[in-house]
Structure 1
Amino acid sequence: MSKNIVYQGEVGAFSHLACLEHFPDHTPMPCRSFAQAFAHVRNGEAELAMIPVENTVAGRVSDIYHLLPEGGLSVIGERYLPVHHQLLAVKGATVEGITSARSHPMALGQVRKRLEALNITPVTDVDTAGAAKAVATLGDPSVAAIASTLAAETYGLDVLLENIEDSPNNTTRFLVLSTQAAMPALDAEPVVSSYVFKVRSVPSALYKALGGFATNGLNLTKLESYMVGGSFNAAQFYIDVEGHPESDAMVHAMEELAFFTESVTHLGTYAAHPSRGLGKV
């Protein structure tokens, strides 16, 4: 298996930065889509995938929750990347002359207030680095990109304004995916377990399904719902739980969850990021 790590986006994307920072011994490999990134890992062209799932300002990356239960990969880790957005333009451009800025919708959501203050119109693009590449190709000094310093270096753009994100704590959480699960030992470091489940169609099913986590003292750090099967009547849920599947508390909680659900998929158990500040569960 190749020692590649895949990410969605062009060279210079923030996912590219996350790969360089957290897996410097792997070769980053860009992909057109999240689905393509999953496929490259499944077929052995890459060992790992670095996939963003949520941002502290812009919220969740919705496409991922549909792919995770169907993608055939296991979550083996989580990584956090502080995200600093730069206003990039062709050489000779000025801030005063910029009328529009291109970037990925998630990035635009993270600089919304700053763009409004500058009277710059946001324009959606496929990804941050792709926007930088497009601005470089276009050569229009009135059009900017919101992207990384790596993108500026890659595509020969000037940084007109640094760190224009609305929040100083702007951070993106990534999941590291592999074909091979990597279950930590029960007595190892604190862990997080991720699951997808579909509740049974009975009154209070979600409330009852999640009750086992509360009664067993387990902390749910994430609960997301999304529609499945093209129907408004079928919802699937994604959860992150601070706990190990083999602990007594988790065993009891999962028994209760299983009773009120049609299906439960374990996506992976992995070491908790240090920023969570957890003790063993």
Structure 2
Amino acid sequence: MQIYPEPAREMVSRMTAAAAERPAQAVAFQGAPGAYSHLATKQVFPEGLALPCFTFDEAFEAVESGKANHAVIPIENSYAGRVAEIHFLLPASNLHIVGEHFLRVRHSLLAVKGAKLEDIRRAYSHTQALSQTRKWCAARSISQVPFADTAGAAALVAERREPDMAAIASSFAAQIYDLDTLVEGIEDVAHNTTRFVVLAREPLKPNPANGAVMTTIFFEVRNIPAALYKALGGFATNGINITKLESYQQQGTFTASEFFADFEGSPDDPAVQRALEELEFHSKRLRIFGTYPQALTRQHPDALDTPSGD
């Protein structure tokens, strides 16, 4: 906990103690109090006890060890792309995806009381937030400095109290650390959205009759010509919609033979079963990370227009 900036430590200590008393209600997230992951956690589990973790590894470990019942973890952003660390941590864990959540991300420039925009020379934040505000900062000659998370950067600004230093974070973080919001909505693109997944120790068996479901898988194709085409052929012939497909290099090679995929449907569906059987035949390994209800915002993106932190 001592690696958090001082303004965040007392709050982290209090939240950690509360979660330790009732781990069944604890929900782990990466970052300091006020992080976008904290906001997502509050939205997904309004009655939960948010448990701050300094790293993604700690958030995964909190669930695996039973310190928390769930974790809410960012997996991709509509502008900055995937959160690469998660795509390597998830296959190495024993956790399952049991839900998804979309958060409309509106970044603000936060500084100490009395600071002025024209005085700001450095902006601290998580690398994802920096990439989402790169053009805005460059246009104002503000240097970007990576930090562990957005709210931690806000806590750092509150701790150092330097008038030329700012954080890129949410208005929620500004309230927590008593900072001024110099500018709101500094993200480079409209509808900047982060997708989170909810992790648990046990898989979920959602009832498709209660609504559409998603399934997330990881697979490694055989090293033969047209391996991916053959592996995914069953999804086309069985009418299964793949909504995401990403390739990865592992173990120092430059052969993109491992993939993450999201698709609509459940492995209990006969058509999905046939598609997965064909995929497994052409793959070295296949793992199903989870089947879970689709977030309503997949069908109703306008629901994301409410600014995060409000």
Among residues 187, 193, 196, which one is paired with 1:165 in the alignment?
187
User: How far 1:225 sits from its partner (Å)?
Assistant: 1.2
Asked if structure 2 preserves the Cα contact closer than 8 Å seen for 1:81 and 1:171, the reply is yes
In structure 2, the partner of 1:130 is 152
Alignment-mate amino acid for residue 134 of structure 2: R
In structure 1, the partner of 2:238 is 216
Is the counterpart of residue 45 in structure 1 residue 71 in structure 2? no
Rounded to whole Å, the distance in 2 between the matches of 1:231 and 1:202 is: 16
Q: Tell me the matched-pair count.
A: 278
In structure 1, the partner of 2:304 is none
Asked if structure 1 preserves the Cα contact closer than 8 Å seen for 2:25 and 2:49, the reply is yes
Asked if structure 1 preserves the Cα contact closer than 8 Å seen for 2:111 and 2:157, the reply is yes
In structure 2, the partner of 1:270 is 292
In structure 1, the partner of 2:28 is 6
Is the counterpart of residue 185 in structure 1 residue 207 in structure 2? yes
Alignment-mate amino acid for residue 13 of structure 1: A
User: How far 1:181 sits from its partner (Å)?
Assistant: 0.8
User: How far 1:48 sits from its partner (Å)?
Assistant: 0.5
Asked if structure 2 preserves the Cα contact closer than 8 Å seen for 1:75 and 1:177, the reply is yes
Within 5 Å, which residues of 2 pair with 1:42-191?
Answer: 42-191=64-213
The alignment-based identity, stated in percent, is 47
SS of residue in 2 equivalent to 1:68: helix
User: How far 1:186 sits from its partner (Å)?
Assistant: 4.1
What is the TM-score of this pair, normalised by structure 2?
0.87
In structure 1, the partner of 2:51 is 29
SS of residue in 2 equivalent to 1:207: helix
Rounded to whole Å, the distance in 2 between the matches of 1:95 and 1:235 is: 47
SS of residue in 2 equivalent to 1:2: helix
Rounded to whole Å, the distance in 2 between the matches of 1:118 and 1:265 is: 46
Alignment-mate amino acid for residue 147 of structure 1: A
- Structure holding more helix per residue: 2
Rounded to whole Å, the distance in 2 between the matches of 1:234 and 1:121 is: 34
Is the counterpart of residue 261 in structure 1 residue 283 in structure 2? yes
Asked if structure 2 preserves the Cα contact closer than 8 Å seen for 1:186 and 1:246, the reply is no
Please list every run of at least 4 consecutive aligned residues from structure 1 whose deviation after the TM superposition is greater than 6 angstroms.
none
Name the stretch that deviates more: 81-90 or 185-194: 185-194
User: How far 1:70 sits from its partner (Å)?
Assistant: 1.6
Rounded to whole Å, the distance in 1 between the matches of 2:158 and 2:238 is: 55
RMSD: 1.3
SS of residue in 2 equivalent to 1:21: helix
User: How far 1:232 sits from its partner (Å)?
Assistant: 2.6
Rounded to whole Å, the distance in 1 between the matches of 2:124 and 2:157 is: 8
User: How far 1:215 sits from its partner (Å)?
Assistant: 1.2
In structure 1, the partner of 2:260 is 238
User: How far 1:190 sits from its partner (Å)?
Assistant: 0.6
SS of residue in 2 equivalent to 1:187: helix
Per-residue CA deviation, residues 33-64 of structure 1 (Å, 9 max, x unaligned), is 11111111111110100000011111110011
Q: Any gaps of 5 or more consecutive residues in structure 1?
A: none
Name the stretch that deviates more: 224-233 or 75-84: 224-233
- In structure 2, relative to structure 1, the CA distance for the partners of 1:84 and 1:234 (3 Å cut) is closer
Q: Any gaps of 5 or more consecutive residues in structure 2?
A: 1-22, 301-310
Rounded to whole Å, the distance in 1 between the matches of 2:265 and 2:116 is: 51
Rounded to whole Å, the distance in 2 between the matches of 1:185 and 1:83 is: 31
Is the counterpart of residue 229 in structure 1 residue 251 in structure 2? yes
Alignment-mate amino acid for residue 166 of structure 1: D
User: How far 1:234 sits from its partner (Å)?
Assistant: 6.2
In structure 1, the partner of 2:5 is none
What is the TM-score of this pair, normalised by structure 1?
0.95
Rounded to whole Å, the distance in 2 between the matches of 1:84 and 1:171 is: 9
Asked if structure 2 preserves the Cα contact closer than 8 Å seen for 1:4 and 1:27, the reply is yes
Asked if structure 1 preserves the Cα contact closer than 8 Å seen for 2:235 and 2:272, the reply is yes
Alignment-mate amino acid for residue 73 of structure 1: L
SS of residue in 2 equivalent to 1:119: coil
Per-residue CA deviation, residues 222-266 of structure 1 (Å, 9 max, x unaligned), is 111112233334631100011111112101100110111000000
User: How far 1:205 sits from its partner (Å)?
Assistant: 0.5
Asked if structure 1 preserves the Cα contact closer than 8 Å seen for 2:100 and 2:294, the reply is yes
